[in-house]
Amino acid sequence: MKRFFKWAGILLLALIVIGGLSFYVWSQQTYSATSSLKEKVDLQKAEAKDGKWLVFEGEGDKGVILYPGAKVEKEAYAYIGQELSERGYTVVIPDVPLNLAFFGVNVPDEIMKEYKGVKEWYLSGHSLGGVAASSYAADHPDKVKGIIYLASYPAESTDFSSSDLSFLSIWAENDGLATKEKIDKSKSLLPVDTEFHEVKGGNHAGFGVYGAQKGDGKATKSVWNQQDEVIKTIDEWIQGRAG
C-alpha cells in the first residue's frame, strides 16, 4: 500500500509539472504587433521601466492605463497610446505576467506611484484586460475616475450597477468573441448612465494592431479606421467627464 501511495504521489506531481509547463507554453504563444504598426509608432521611444511598460506621456493631468487582451503583446496597442498622448493624456500599457491580465491586476499601484503628476486615472482593457480593469476598480474605487471597456465587460461577480464611477463600453459590430449578446447582457452590471459605442464594421482584433484572431469575425472596416474611431470616442468621452 505504501508503494502504491508513493507512485501515486509521483504520478500526481508529474501531472502537475506537465500541466504547468503546458500552460506556460500556451501563454507564450502570443499575438504580436504587425509591421504596419511599427511603421507608425516609435516603440523604443515609448519603452520604459526596464521594458515592463510602454509609456506615452501627455501634457495634461489625465491618464489611461490599458490592460492588454489575453496573450496580446502590449505593443499592439501602441498606436492608441501614441494618439491619446498627443491629445494630452499619459497612457501606460503594461506587460502582465504570463501575458494574461488577471495575473497583473494590481499593476496600476506601481504606475500611479511613478506618475504622480496624473490627477485623474482611467482604466481601460481589451477583452480579458477589461475584466482585470474591473477587478482593480472594484477594490480601489477611490483611485480611478472610470473604466473604458474595449470589446469587454465585467465578470458576473463584479456588479457596478450602483457605482459612482464613469463607464464607457466600446464594442464592434463583427466581433466574434465579445458579441453583441454578451455586451447587452453586461448592461445589468453597469450603471444606467454607461455610454455604449458600436464600431460599425469593426471586429475584436481591431482594438489592437496584431492581425487576425481565432474565433473572431471578419472586419469590413480597416484596422486604422477602427483605431481612429476608438481614439476619438475615448477622447470625447473623457473630455465629457471634465469637472
If DSSP states are collapsed to H, E and C, what string results for 39-84?
CCCCHHHHEECCCCEEEECCCCCEEEEEECCCCECHHHHHHHHHHH
Question: Distance between CA 63 and CA 92 in Å, rounded?
Answer: 8
Classify burial at 62, counting beta carbons within 10 Å of its beta carbon; exposed 0-12, middle 13-18, buried 19 or more: buried
Q: What is the pLDDT of residue 5?
A: 44
Which residue, chain included where needed, has cell 494618439?
Answer: 83
pLDDT of residue 67: 97
Residue pair 105/128 in contact (Cβ under 8 Å)? The answer is no
pLDDT of residue 23: 36
pLDDT for 28 equals: 53
Cα dist. 224→24, 158, 202, 211 in Å?
32, 32, 10, 12
Which regions in the chain score pLDDT beneath 70? 1-29, 49-50, 98-99, 102, 242-243
Q: Return the SS3 of 173.
A: coil
> Could you tell me which of 15, 31, 7 has the C-alpha nearest to residue 223?
31
pLDDT for res 115:
94
User: How far apart are the C-alpha atoms of 128 and 141, rounded to whole Å?
Assistant: 20
What confidence score (pLDDT) does residue 242 get? 67
Identify the DSSP state of 219.
Answer: P
pLDDT, residue 21, reads: 42
| Predicted structure pTM score | 0.89
The confidence score (pLDDT) of residue 4 equals: 47
